[in-house]
Structure 1
Amino acid sequence: MDFLSENVYIDAGFQHLCESVFVRLLQIVGTSIQVAIRRETTDINEMVERRVADNDDVISMESGSRREGFRLEGSDLDYMYWLNDHRVIFDMFQSEHYYTENKTLILFDNSESSPGFTLLELLTPTTNRKVQSACVPMNARLYISSSLYRQDIQAHPFPGSITHGPCESGEVEGIEYDFVHCFASDFWPRSASSWINRCHSWPDREVVNEIVRNGCHFVPIGHPIGLHEQEEWRISFSLAEHKLVHSMNHCQFLTYGLLKIFLKEVIDKQSEETNKLLCSYHMKTVIFWVIQQNAVPLWCSQNLLAGFWVCFKLLLKWVYEGICPNFFIPENNLFLSKVHGSAQRKLFLQLHGLYKKGLVCLLQSPSIKSYINNVLYNPRLSICTNEDRMMSECDHDKELFSEIDGNTSRSPRDLDHCIKYFHTIELMIGEPLTQYQVLMLQRSTANILQSTAFTLHNIYTNTGLNKQMYIADRMSCHMLKLAAKFGCISDMMYIAMFFCKTIRYREALYFTEMIKVKLAQPGLMYRRHVDPERYTEAVGGQSWSTKMRQAVAYDIRLNNYTCYINELTPEQQFALLDNIKLDIPLFVVLHFVEFLCYRHIDTTLAQAALEELQVLVHHDSGLFIDDVDRDISWEILGICQQMTGNLQAALHSYQQSLTQFPWNKIQNATQMRIQELHFT
């Protein structure tokens, strides 16, 4: 291996070095179990949402590195959105697959476009105003302009959001996001048919068939030097790429992770002039080609760096030639608009300089450096690559319950929609599911039961039909208690909210007291906060279902299509306009409900509950209130203060709410409450 420096052992020493880096990557990227948890919980969440979606819904899909299973520091949050009632077809024969009364058809037309790009012709009428306003006439036909659609559809959800390529980009509490609105096709493009024929050894035929069956997407960005840059759309293979990454073995996935780290910590640090020329998509493309071409005979921990080096050499070759072939459509050169001319030459010289150093160039990576040095200076160092011994039971549980929380967010719009969710989950229970997906469905069922209980109550409130109200009330109580029985500790909070809403204050307080006892347990796992030793002592070795019931608590997420607490109606209504669910810290809701109940029972205890809430909101440093939830936390404190007549304190709290990051989209409700104070 001529690329190794003289300081690296070629045989056993080289394997030792590979294993050391392998262990470090397990720590940074995750074990195979952690990665499986991330992927499978996301998959089952999207599967449920896709099946309950109505024809006129907007479909969302997480994409990018997080969907692939990465949780690297600085990883983007990427989402794709498309209209469920619009579909792209590649020829007129494919229109036979659709009932055009409820589907708008769009025709693929790449007759004047470069490989990987196309024009989209509107074939059938659309009622969507954003699509209508983006249409432009060309050659006696109507085409959807990518630039106009991108401009019209972007909602600028958070302050500072900008247009970046086809995406709407920005940053939320240090996490960058990319949202892209696109169109979907149920068919595989003929321009990518050569890829199907190349798949002899990887991926296997089952994966290939699934990828082709799932079709592709079209994102609003034209070819930079195309004839119709403002009107063209780029073919996106995001869904196919997820499937390919998921079909990698874990060593291949870790190698992909190492390439991403190497890009960020080494290549991008060479000079400001070249640090934007390469991106993680190029790294993904490299490893796809290397795996498919069988350039590495064995992908395993002892050979990890050999795989990395083959990828690096291919990248170097591409930069030298100025050609990076898209994995699905090789004629589409991903370097065409950036890596050329003097910038290309400088980038090649920098990469070649790293290449001449051999694997020692990895010492420039702060994340990897110490692990390489340990082996270089301690060749007899014992290294354990057993994943099970690296991660504790608590660490894996924390990963699992965190991912479940992040992927459980059901918002049925009405009772019929609730029933549709139940029916979907019922059907899915009979399908082959992983243990993580079963737990995910369990959590989802609890969530739907809670939404249904409040929806049912709100339907029959004030109807004057006492018998129906009584029956609905019994059913709601039963559903909430059932959800708490197989949900987690915080699910009891919904029972307390329900009793508070239905003027059964003592029953509500009974549950808040029970919740407080459970939250005081030393082994509690609240979000990602946990004492590993005490958690293991409390529930170690038990089933995940038992652990979730006895030791796990989440924040409270309100489905804004139904009312949970009357005093939060304005906040829910304004958040609903932005299609946002209210995220409220559990301990804030706890003190809020106590305050609302004690006001009717004992004013002294009501004041005590308010003081506890005030101390929490004023002084918590992130343990009980996440930064993005400070807007609603200050808001609730202000509501309580206003109810006690302390208008000055309420005004201060509302003003504080307005200064927080607008995660819950309640600024209009806050402004409305401030106006009320001025007229009080």
Structure 2
Amino acid sequence: MFQEPDYRENLSLMLSEVLHDIGVNERIVMSRRRGNMLREIMSNIQNRLSGLNVTSYNLGSQSEGTTTIGLHSDIDILVCFHDCNIIQEWSEWEPDKLNYLMIHDENTTPGYCFLQLLRDDEPLPATVIPDEHHITDRRGRILYKNTMINDLLQGADQKHGPSIAEQGQPGLCDRDRVSALPCKSWPQSASGWLQIQGISRWPTQEMRRYAASNGCFVVPTGSKVSEYPELEWRISTTLAERCLMFNQNITQIRCYVLLKMILKSFLNPQDEINISSFMCKTVLLHCIENTESQIWKDNNLYTCLTYCLLELQNCVHNDCCSHFITTENNLMAGQFTAETKHELSKNICDFIQNDRQWLLSIDIDDVGHRLQVKLNRVPHRIYYFPSSLVIYENVKTLAYINIANDVSYQHMLILNFLLNKNIRTIKQSIGKVMTFCDNGTRLEHAAFKLLAPFIFTTYGSILASSSIGENNQVSPQALVWLSAGLNSDISSSRLKLASVFYSTGDMEKADLILRHTEQQYYSYPVLPICYCHHQLPEAVTAEFKRLCNEQSEDCIKHITAFCVRFIQKEINCVPKELQYEMFTHKYEDCWMDWAVVDSLPFLYFLQYKINRHLQRHQDQQQALCKLIRTLETDKNLKHRETALNILGQCMEQENRPQAALKCYMLSLQQRARNNAANYHICKLLSGLLVC
């Protein structure tokens, strides 16, 4: 099968080069994986600090690195709720917990199970139905319905099986969130997989041991061919599957990417999902297991692809694609009508017979055109393609921006948790997270280093607000925490410290911090970061991309400027002009009673106020001009309405009421509802009428 003519080897090498050039190479794959793992860990740090008994896992093509820019892969997030103890043996039962026994019988589809509710005081079946999410079957067993997922669907765009789809904003990936419950033990239905060894001796015993040690999940969805779709739960071995994908070589990854491109271009037209990418992944895994490892090399990519397509055609023909781990689970059961099956089989057959023609027709990432150039079918000058280095730079830059956005997002969730917590509880929560990360892996340390400064700064600011309220001084403990958080990014934590000193009247210290922050801001190609609006920045400079390309993700601390956020517990550290923002409900009630402002406008506003206090009239006017210029020229401002509101108040203090009114009106154009500008306008007009 694998002794093919020279043209196959030549075409394989050309295909490999094309895929390398569009970003399917070791550097970009590892960059994607590291970025997604960091984001996963940061999410779980936030979960721990917030006291949530859940664990999030970033899965799918983005986390595996098996995607390209043109494939537009979404982010699959599995959210595991640890409130339940899912068991397969009675010995796994735990007292005072919500225990469920996995049931496999003649009524369950292979790869699925029922969950039987057990008592929490002794290992016996429960006899009382607790709520509407449970039902008694004809055998008297109390079973957990999988429709509990409906409680989580509020505001979701779509439902795909057990998942909740979140529509991505421009420039951001869609996210599929899947709820799951954990089972500590390996599924009994897949016990045979741990023993079987394929031709290639892959997966290795080490991979199988890892899989067994991580147990499995149950996901709230039933089989398409089930008689009891509301009672079945799908058994998921997704962590084992991620391990298998992380242990593929680059040729195997390229083969999978090509399969997905063929799927999207020719087999699933117009976004129809006849064959899923998971089916393609399963076919690939079976092919890897059943072939010698030396087959999977760049000079054999074309043949490997053909082999996978033949296997896929065989699956469609037989209506059977066995799950790689839980082999009794047929992924294609109930998937196709007879007409669809015939059409798919014909299309795959046509592709295999005319594969070179179809490969040259793939539009995704210009694969077809790139291949034509490689094969000298068309002159190179007809097409301009970004080089692999440019694509690597773009992918890595986007990865770093996404990491920074996730830091902003997790910080936002942490602030939401802190709103109603006392100082002692906050300190205890931070201590638990620090202990967890101290004992963690190198990757967990790296993730904590990115998120921790924002946590420290917030806690320091809360302590400072408390001490300012008592005696108008900043406690030494608050300064320790504020200092520990100074390197969160180029500006936001420093601006908070400056605001603390400003609030106590220590203008000289505040001024010194602001001068240093402004100097640093213009020493680097700084990019404003804010997750509040779920959008990527409009303008990214070449210098910013260069630094991302040359350095680790830690560099985002020196080239990003996060928005500055204050919650009510920090109110004594907030200038009164910004405190008005704390009494509006903002951003569709995502949070309440916060003041949030972009770094650069806040910097110039503080400079204006401090120089006014110090009676430096020229410096005061210079700061005001910088604030105005920033609003006029900075396209990446996310809280423009807030910046306009504080500029309007500066104009009032300059005795320029018409200019102030213009600022407030422009602010309302940015956000008509839940805007402090409404209050400012009323106050301004009231003052003018009195005069």
TM-score of the two chains, using structure 1 as the length reference? 0.78
- Using the TM superposition, give the Cα deviation of residue 559 of structure 1 relative to its aligned residue in structure 2, in angstroms: 8.6
- Using the TM superposition, give the Cα deviation of residue 345 of structure 1 relative to its aligned residue in structure 2, in angstroms: 0.6
Distance 1:526 1:223 in 2: 46
Which residue of structure 2 lines up, in the alignment, with residue 314 of structure 1? 311
- 3-state SS, counterpart of residue 370 of structure 1: helix
- Tell me whether 1:425 sits opposite 2:437 in the alignment: yes
Which residue of structure 1 lines up, in the alignment, with residue 127 of structure 2? none
Which residue of structure 1 lines up, in the alignment, with residue 186 of structure 2? 188
Count residues in correspondence: 623
Say whether the 8 Å CA contact 1:489–1:515 is kept in structure 2. yes
Out of 11, 27, 34, the residue aligned to residue 40 of structure 1 is 34
* Equivalent residue letter for 1:510: L
- 3-state SS, counterpart of residue 203 of structure 1: coil
- Tell me whether 1:19 sits opposite 2:19 in the alignment: no
Say whether the 8 Å CA contact 2:568–2:594 is kept in structure 1. no
Which residue of structure 1 lines up, in the alignment, with residue 384 of structure 2? none
- Using the TM superposition, give the Cα deviation of residue 245 of structure 1 relative to its aligned residue in structure 2, in angstroms: 0.9
Out of 67, 74, 77, the residue aligned to residue 76 of structure 1 is 74
Distance 2:630 2:456 in 1: 30
Which residue of structure 1 lines up, in the alignment, with residue 670 of structure 2? 656
* Equivalent residue letter for 1:305: Y
Distance 2:225 2:612 in 1: 68
- Tell me whether 1:235 sits opposite 2:242 in the alignment: no
Which residue of structure 1 lines up, in the alignment, with residue 244 of structure 2? 244
Say which is worse superposed, 412-421 or 581-590, in terms of deviation: 581-590
Say whether the 8 Å CA contact 2:22–2:391 is kept in structure 1. no
Q: Per-residue displacement from partner, 1:289-334 (whole Å, max 9, x unpaired)?
A: 1111126642222222222221111111111222111112222221
- Tell me whether 1:213 sits opposite 2:213 in the alignment: yes
Distance 2:114 2:320 in 1: 24
Distance 2:58 2:234 in 1: 18
Spell out the pairing of 1:150-169 with structure 2 (5 A cutoff): 150-156=149-155, 161-169=157-165
Out of 61, 66, 70, the residue aligned to residue 65 of structure 1 is 61
Distance 1:341 1:514 in 2: 71
Distance 1:230 1:580 in 2: 41
- 3-state SS, counterpart of residue 152 of structure 1: helix
- Using the TM superposition, give the Cα deviation of residue 233 of structure 1 relative to its aligned residue in structure 2, in angstroms: 1.8
Out of 505, 509, 512, the residue aligned to residue 510 of structure 1 is 512
Which residue of structure 2 lines up, in the alignment, with residue 173 of structure 1? 169
Which residue of structure 1 lines up, in the alignment, with residue 110 of structure 2? 115
Spell out the pairing of 1:84-163 with structure 2 (5 A cutoff): 84-95=82-93, 98=94, 100-101=95-96, 103-111=97-105, 112-124=107-119, 132-139=131-138, 140-147=140-147, 149-156=148-155, 161-163=157-159
- Tell me whether 1:470 sits opposite 2:475 in the alignment: yes
Which residue of structure 2 lines up, in the alignment, with residue 634 of structure 1? 641
* Equivalent residue letter for 1:154: L
Which residue of structure 2 lines up, in the alignment, with residue 7 of structure 1? none
Spell out the pairing of 1:217-616 with structure 2 (5 A cutoff): 217-269=217-269, 275-294=272-291, 297-366=294-363, 367-377=366-376, 390=389, 398=397, 401-402=400-401, 404-406=403-405, 408=407, 409=410, 411=414, 413=418, 414-428=426-440, 431=441, 433=442, 439-464=446-471, 469-481=474-486, 483=487, 492-500=494-502, 502-521=504-523, 532=542, 544=552, 552-556=559-563, 558=565, 563=570, 565=574, 567=579, 568-570=581-583, 585-591=598-604, 593-594=606-607, 597=610, 600=613, 616=630
Distance 1:545 1:352 in 2: 45
* Equivalent residue letter for 1:372: L
Q: Specify whether residues 473 and 534 from structure 1 end up closer, same or farther in structure 2 by C-alpha distance, changes over 3 A only.
A: closer
- Taking only the aligned residue pairs, the percentage that are identical comes to 18
Say whether the 8 Å CA contact 1:415–1:455 is kept in structure 2. no
Q: Specify whether residues 18 and 577 from structure 1 end up closer, same or farther in structure 2 by C-alpha distance, changes over 3 A only.
A: same
Q: Specify whether residues 295 and 339 from structure 1 end up closer, same or farther in structure 2 by C-alpha distance, changes over 3 A only.
A: farther
Q: Specify whether residues 220 and 534 from structure 1 end up closer, same or farther in structure 2 by C-alpha distance, changes over 3 A only.
A: closer
- Using the TM superposition, give the Cα deviation of residue 35 of structure 1 relative to its aligned residue in structure 2, in angstroms: 2.1
- Using the TM superposition, give the Cα deviation of residue 28 of structure 1 relative to its aligned residue in structure 2, in angstroms: 3.0
Q: Specify whether residues 347 and 595 from structure 1 end up closer, same or farther in structure 2 by C-alpha distance, changes over 3 A only.
A: farther
Q: Specify whether residues 552 and 138 from structure 1 end up closer, same or farther in structure 2 by C-alpha distance, changes over 3 A only.
A: same
Any gaps of 5 or more consecutive residues in structure 1? 5-9, 382-387, 659-666
* Equivalent residue letter for 2:113: T
Distance 2:135 2:608 in 1: 58
- 3-state SS, counterpart of residue 254 of structure 1: helix
Say whether the 8 Å CA contact 2:586–2:592 is kept in structure 1. no
Q: Per-residue displacement from partner, 1:177-211 (whole Å, max 9, x unpaired)?
A: 21222222222111122222234512222221112
Distance 2:21 2:597 in 1: 31
* Equivalent residue letter for 1:456: L
Q: Per-residue displacement from partner, 1:393-448 (whole Å, max 9, x unpaired)?
A: 966863664454255445384121222222223223xx5x37xx665443344344
- Using the TM superposition, give the Cα deviation of residue 605 of structure 1 relative to its aligned residue in structure 2, in angstroms: 6.5
- Using the TM superposition, give the Cα deviation of residue 119 of structure 1 relative to its aligned residue in structure 2, in angstroms: 1.9
Say whether the 8 Å CA contact 1:558–1:581 is kept in structure 2. yes
Larger Rg: 2
- 3-state SS, counterpart of residue 327 of structure 1: coil
Any gaps of 5 or more consecutive residues in structure 2? 122-129, 381-386, 419-425, 530-536, 687-691
Say whether the 8 Å CA contact 1:555–1:584 is kept in structure 2. no
- Using the TM superposition, give the Cα deviation of residue 277 of structure 1 relative to its aligned residue in structure 2, in angstroms: 0.6
* Equivalent residue letter for 1:347: L
- Using the TM superposition, give the Cα deviation of residue 361 of structure 1 relative to its aligned residue in structure 2, in angstroms: 1.6
Q: Per-residue displacement from partner, 1:580-633 (whole Å, max 9, x unpaired)?
A: 999965445544554665675578867765665566556654xx34xxxx4x44
- Using the TM superposition, give the Cα deviation of residue 492 of structure 1 relative to its aligned residue in structure 2, in angstroms: 3.9
Q: Per-residue displacement from partner, 1:473-506 (whole Å, max 9, x unpaired)?
A: 332343234x36xx65665444445444555455
Distance 2:491 2:24 in 1: 28
Q: Specify whether residues 257 and 359 from structure 1 end up closer, same or farther in structure 2 by C-alpha distance, changes over 3 A only.
A: same
Which residue of structure 1 lines up, in the alignment, with residue 533 of structure 2? none
* Equivalent residue letter for 2:307: V
- 3-state SS, counterpart of residue 37 of structure 2: helix
Q: Specify whether residues 18 and 545 from structure 1 end up closer, same or farther in structure 2 by C-alpha distance, changes over 3 A only.
A: closer
Which residue of structure 2 lines up, in the alignment, with residue 662 of structure 1? none
Q: Per-residue displacement from partner, 1:357-376 (whole Å, max 9, x unpaired)?
A: 03332112022112221232
Distance 2:329 2:592 in 1: 37
- 3-state SS, counterpart of residue 462 of structure 1: helix
Say whether the 8 Å CA contact 2:597–2:643 is kept in structure 1. no
Say whether the 8 Å CA contact 1:522–1:535 is kept in structure 2. no
Q: Specify whether residues 279 and 595 from structure 1 end up closer, same or farther in structure 2 by C-alpha distance, changes over 3 A only.
A: farther
Distance 2:678 2:102 in 1: 52
